[in-house]
Structure 1
């Protein structure tokens, strides 16, 4: 007698399956890819007898369930239903070659059952969800001197968690700094003193970034949450502050002596080689329209700068979106004094 399977809800199907395929599930295991094998007939779920049950049959079950590799055929008392939830045996003498798309395609006996209650078939497959990293909603550097230095923490489902230093290196830190919108990674180390250690769960370790990824979410890592670390091994990351610039001393944000931010310190720019195209890039980056006039001498209009002179011999094509993209000497290398500080006046 042919099996009739009701279709109560839609299921996702693998290659070769159709919406008319009988339904199958794994029950009682730690996840959807391990447990007692059950099939449905006439709206009722029943078990599979473990006579001749083997790894080939489990491979078919794993494929039908959209799980990973078949690990082990289970039988006997593994995930046995409770006595008050006794179920009828619906299939026995299953014989698969391991290549079928569904258990229904395997040879089997569907009536005349002779199977002991404690001889129920089960299956253990790889759990695909265990290899899919959860969504990291946010990243931050906590308890540092600024937003670009501190103890690395990732956010998931409204909770912050630290990252174990095991396997962490400068390539991983490079990705974290990029995701934070900070400058280049300059230091990563084991964190922290007892007073500044993280609290709560440690979700990630064994990160393995190439350094080119946009976010830590894109990097391979060890199993999520299966961590043998303690908070003595929390990760500390230091990035350079993001490049920034400003005009100071003028009567608006769009005029004044030019200063740029590097390594968290503001400094001026030498006017050697500075001209209209460089003015254009500064005004564009600040959202201040176009330059109004050739750069004036800052010392005459906006006063002398103090501290570092970060840039010298700057050359721009005028097409750059940021002054950081223009050519210049190494940061901090110059033969200037503050009498040569750049000033810019923009139209807006």
Structure 2
């Protein structure tokens, strides 16, 4: 029987986020992003049977560990020291779509009865800690008419760089638009005008995406090289600005149950981890002044929503200009009911 079990996200940094220990790891490899796959259950670490283990599963694992793109599915038995007899094979028949953020969101079978440690699953991901493979820290679109149109800039080691059009394609643009919560990429070939060209450093590594990645960090970045580009070749991307939000259930647009628009459909937001900083971002985005601090009873007067629950585990620093800039689970993934829908009350 396919089940889901709770794994804590291993590498997910940011203000206000959990700093608990990872519930999935790679051991025995040359670096933290390659090795035998191990998961924790009830305080004990165990291995994963390689029956059904494939690149889609590795892709999710690499994403969860913050390790960039998936490279391969080596046998876990090649990584030393081997799993001990005291370790159990905890799960098998892992079945990921490949777009999940965590292994916990995939299906798997707990009834392991025909797997030994000779069949332990392994995974090989890019090592983002290697200086020869720079990994983008963040991405933004600037100089455009809105946050979803503009010149592509990538942040690395705290410095923003423009991106040369050489090697850039629609697949990379799709990932940028997805990461920014801006819908589909609709234009990638436009050149930057003289007034919108950058002036700083140019990213010196070619980025290769499949188009299915959730963030640009998961795409392959080659070693640093001299690309001989100029700012006349800066990349420009335009996306659909498909994200919006509103407060419903009251006579004021500044108080009510929170709903967000994604892919043309309105859905609610789960209150797991929701707090004052998240309220602050919503009120700011709506131009509704400062957030108030209503009681739980006051928040519940707007009633539960219906339909989709789009977002869960949102974490904001309070400095974001829009809720989609805050960290959250992948769209549509949650463990909530509509009884946990977020409601916000702003001062104006």
TM class, shorter-length: 0.3 to 0.5
TM-score (normalised: structure 1): 0.38
Pick the structure with greater CA Rg: 1
TM-score (normalised: structure 2): 0.38
